[in-house]
Amino acid sequence: MSRKRVAVLISGRGSNMAALIETAKDKNYPAEIALVASNRPDAPGLAAARAAGIATAIVDHASYGKDRPAFERALQTVLEQHRIDLICLAGFMRLLTAGFVTQWQDRLLNIHPALLPAFKGLDTHKRALAAGAKMHGATVHFVVPEMDSGPIIAQGAVAVRDNDDECTLAVRVLAVEHRIYPLALKLVAEGRVRVVDGHCLIDGVPVPASASIVPDEPG
């Protein structure tokens, strides 16, 4: 079976993008990163993508003002030029319209730095600490029009430590992100994920909680 052609959409540093690029170097991985696109010309991740020999594109949202559909049409043109099958949002800081999301239904993934449905939106680490959460983590899900609400493909959890601050917690969550995104993309690219009634089935069955990544934490 041919490898799925994936576009990674970024706005910033691109460490999840880098994790996907690294994993997809393996020819046996069912997806190849065919394009990295950014809505910000200055996104640091672009240079890393170029250095890895990946095609890059800039679709600068600022050029389109408030006209989101026009921005998305430009994005769609680039995606078509690169014959993209699947999109991974990785720190992509633009809300996408329902029209675009629907067009890419079940082919558009996002990673969110919290255990959804807890802590949708921004500042997740700060809010998890403020809430006194004992477990925190990250989620890969399909994108639906409502923000951070789509069917969950994979999650990874970390225990919150007494002395954690936003930065220390973010570092451990990010390490988990870099594991679950390649895992989730693999499952989707292999065609093993089906959405039924808003939930993901993998190989036809609900994903057991035991499939979540809970890293061993020394001390």
CA angle 134–124–174, rounded 5-degree value = 80
Please, what is the minimum distance in Å from the beta carbon of residue 16 to ligand GRF? 3
- Residue 182 interacts with ligand GRF (CB under 6 A): yes or no: no
Alpha carbon distance 121, 204 (integer Å): 30
Please, what is the minimum distance in Å from the beta carbon of residue 139 to ligand GRF? 9
- Residue 125 interacts with ligand GRF (CB under 6 A): yes or no: no
Q: Give the one residue of 112, 136, 141, 172 binding ligand GRF; rule: CB under 6 A.
A: 112
The single residue of 61, 112, 136, 178 carrying the catalytic annotation is: 112
Alpha carbon distance 90, 50 (integer Å): 16
- Residue 150 interacts with ligand GRF (CB under 6 A): yes or no: no
CA-based max dimension of the chain: 51
Q: Give the one residue of 91, 137, 151, 156 binding ligand GRF; rule: CB under 6 A.
A: 91
Please, what is the minimum distance in Å from the beta carbon of residue 17 to ligand GRF? 6
Distances (CA, A) of 169 to 81, 91, 158, 172: 39, 17, 9, 5
Q: Give the 3-state secondary structure of residue 140.
A: strand
Residues in contact with ligand GRF by the rule CB under 6 A: 10, 12-17, 90-91, 111-113, 138, 174, 177
Active site residues: 112
